[in-house]
Structure 1
């Protein structure tokens, strides 16, 4: 290896490879495209091999790039852990778990998915909510230990991810008591007349709900669409409309939102996944999360 080898250059290459292009990496690093490109070229000169090559509108790894990427993954995975290791060495021991939560995931479901680790002594749980693609980017950069989502990770040749199914639950319709009484008289046909609240299309379950309506020739009277599941339930409990929710959290929903169950959304289910990077040593609490949820 050349004596001019620079770990900063390796880091910029690593981000470029993870993001699939120099422009995306520059945005992630908050740097100029020209600067990032120059740093990668410096690394290639130091190593004596091209690490990236054009492919369509993006970049892919050369054989040398694949070898460099494997080592960079190990190096920066250890680097991400270093601050926590040092902090724990001089303070009370803590078990840190950084979880990314897809913004379409119901909050009550998130609590249930994380329940197996909540009682861990000295747990320091960090929950970051955000858009699915952004969370996967942070996961690839080892800023997160795991991502919880309602869909598996898409295939990406530059990022080795696994998607572990954590379970699924039927979906049912709920409403405030007065509206529920009207809905039960002619369910589900009444959903063509009564106000309906739905999650927005950024959730995986929205397509299944739309198909459910179409298969029953019901044209719902949609009066509200919500990205945030907690807002959906809050407006639903106020009487604004009938709304769908995962039956996993039926008891909590009844207790906290004072709504009633109208009927099952037959054939529609919500699916939940834990997404992580393929590491030689998996976080012990992530291992615990991967146990099946009843």
Structure 2
């Protein structure tokens, strides 16, 4: 598939353990100090708007769980319905989970999975304080989901899968968790050109979602290999301004674009 399509084929990429450690450290710091990411509440709201959330979601009850880390709105892609069971891969402080909980209602259920203990703790605290009885957060890696087979109607994720050193495993796990006929609805970044060489093995760049993305062709192949059908990957052209802020010395929009990624597990 070419050198930019699979990080494991690049000798100058981070190894999996270093990558996971870099990601955990970055997001643990953000969970403990939102200023490490977004600067102000207003900045987080503006990033949510740039990512595609409407004002009601960006400033509503779930907004204090918005750390400004997403690159799209997977809840909108998923078109969630009352009574559904939703799984969020890399749920962070729980922003998308709480929005999803409102959409699926008391008869539905939302499970967030994140590998950073500090994020899971923060999300659980909000769920308890705001009486979200249909949401739970589990500590785990998205390559090894703590979820039973065929129990999920919709898998969502927001700018997290690019952080994984084993994307085939992520999609295989999502497929396993979905019920027949269930759907995947992901917002993430995809490669449009080669990542600058100096960023490929930079832990900060990888953890900041700048250096770990795959091309659209590669993602299509990974989803097909996992068994998914009806794959649709749609670049979001108006995300360039948001991406341009992700790195100090480079403009990530020169080689990345936000995208909506949708697929379905055959019935």
TM-score (norm 2): 0.27
Higher alpha-carbon Rg: 1
Of Structure 1 and Structure 2, the greater strand share is in 1
TM-score (norm 1): 0.25
